[in-house]
Amino acid sequence: MVAATEQTKAPSHPALQMRGISKSFGPTRVLKNVDFELRAGEIHALMGENGAGKSTLMKIAAGLIDQYDGEIYVAGKQHRMASPRDATRAGIAMIQQELSLVPELAVDENIFLGQEKVRSLFIVDREQQVRAAGEVLRPLDFHGRIDQPIAKLRVGEQQLVEIAKALVAKARILIMDEPTSALSINESERLFQVIRTLAQEGVAIAYISHRMEEVVVLADTVTVLRDGQLIGSMPQERASRREIIRMMVGRELQEVFASGKSETATRKPVLEVHNLRLENPAPTVMRSMLVQNVSFTVGAGEVFGIAGLLGAGRTETLEVLFGLHPGTSGGDIWVDGKRIRLSNPVDAKAVGIALVTEDRKRDGLVLGAGIDRNAELAVLRTIAAFGLVSPNEELALANRTIGDLGIQASGPRQLAGTLSGGNQQKLVIGKWLLAKPRVLLLDEPTRGIDVGAKAEIYRLIGTLAEQGLAIVLVTSELPELTLLSDRILVLCEGRPTALLRREQFSHETILEYASPGGSVQPASGEMEVAR
């Protein structure tokens, strides 16, 4: 990577300079006299816990928040960012954590929205536009169809489209807010290559991330905010994981997690899966099934990890187990020794299976409803009498969820959409725990939450395992997967390639089995359910 200091001729002014930036939302002051400086060709990581002010600071630079105190300079010239158009004119583009795509429009239409490729004044040249979109997406390792609506893409694929939109704008200052939160390891590596290339071309990049491993390998400089205040900046070579965490939370934070250590063989099986399969809705010669021949068991108190690259079938496996694909899936499933049939999620819930989805905002919560209404969703049928729910019982369930999971909120009626990412995730999990499941399926449970909230989710998973819950975990973060799991099933293009025990865990081993054309573990009874 070429750092800014290695450029032959450094510009006399920083690409972006923010001085004394302050911002309040009502009585809450979220930024307090913050300074931030970003130079051409620099990859500058901005870190802090949820609510630290990182995204707010960068949204001010991008013109998404127009009322603020302080001064902003771009290449030495003062600007007042009153709208996104002002930022665009100044050469600033931002990739937001919350995707801003139009679900009904195709991939290419989203990428070139507002700057369409036209043949004449009123006619869009779709053929040229699809081709141009393909050229932008190719370095990002995008495998979806460019002419299909965004709504049909996985979250990770949508994230790549959002990144492509910013690249098309050819900004000289690029702000990236959690750009890898939904990406696989391979996709993240490809994105890092693109980021390094942009930096070498002189683009100044502000990079917001919760992932320590990304910052260590990618950033030139690290700046930490806490409670809306600047804690400090340091060059990458001094930015150890321990020091960043200390600056973020104001104390040492121990993230060590010990899942149940008893031998898996001694655990009573709770979930047993044999020959799970799911048809590909758009079959190809190379892949007619999204999931094929997947078999495993999960014991009481076990955290069973599923690894794989994006498109490997991890999420689809959880969806089949939750009854989301009754017409196109098959296989045999047992819960507590009883064979079950799943025609829909109601059937899954009835036998004790719960799913925490990867997109909590879209699929896990009603953002415009309070904690109380969200908490009761999974048990509504059991607590309602003649279609009505007692307000006292509703509040009791909400307060129990808040207390049991340590949700930070002003009260049980606070809207779910106003909670931090970590507290939203706790609410989703808490909602399902009220239904007293036997099997908890977790799909990217720490996506987009800060290091402190992650540690709390880790502890919660450990507590649930100790209580005998069978947990199936899908996460794109290998350090998290190896930290939490007792065993890991590796999938590659929908098929199982290895079943690893803790002593076999390593990132290199997992990636070798997860990569197309990589190794396949010799067939053994471990990957089959004997009945």
Residue 11 pLDDT? 56
Q: Please name the residues in contact with 83: beta carbons below 8 A apart, sequence gap of 6 or more.
A: 63, 66
Using CB atoms within 10 A of its CB, is residue 119 exposed (0-12), middle (13-18) or buried (19+)? Answer: exposed
Backbone torsion region of residue 176, taken as left when φ is above 0, otherwise alpha when ψ lies between -120 and 50, otherwise beta: beta
Secondary structure class of 345 (helix, strand, coil): helix
Amino acid (1-letter code) at residue 153: L
Residue 519 pLDDT? 79
Using CB atoms within 10 A of its CB, is residue 234 exposed (0-12), middle (13-18) or buried (19+)? Answer: middle
Q: How far apart are CA 492 and CA 479, in angstroms?
A: 19
**Token digits of residue 136:** 């932008």
Pairing of strands 470-474, 439-443: parallel
CB atoms within 10 A of CB 414: 18
Residue 376 pLDDT? 87
Secondary structure class of 180 (helix, strand, coil): coil
Degrees to nearest 5, angle at CA 475 with 329 and 526: 60
Q: How far apart are CA 451 and CA 149, in angstroms?
A: 34
pTM: 0.62
Q: Which domains does the chain have, with CATH numbers?
A: 1-91+172-180+198-252 (3.40.50.300), 101-170 (no CATH), 267-352+437-527 (3.40.50.300), 360-420 (no CATH)
Secondary structure class of 94 (helix, strand, coil): strand
Q: Are 41 and 3 in contact (CB under 8 A)?
A: yes
Mean pLDDT per 10-residue segment, the chain (531 residues): 43 87 87 96 89 90 94 95 92 83 92 85 86 89 87 82 84 89 75 89 91 85 92 88 77 44 65 95 82 96 92 93 94 96 94 92 89 87 73 86 89 90 89 94 86 83 93 90 94 94 89 82 55 50
Widest pairwise Cα distance in the chain:
75
CB atoms within 10 A of CB 387: 6
Residue 393 pLDDT? 82
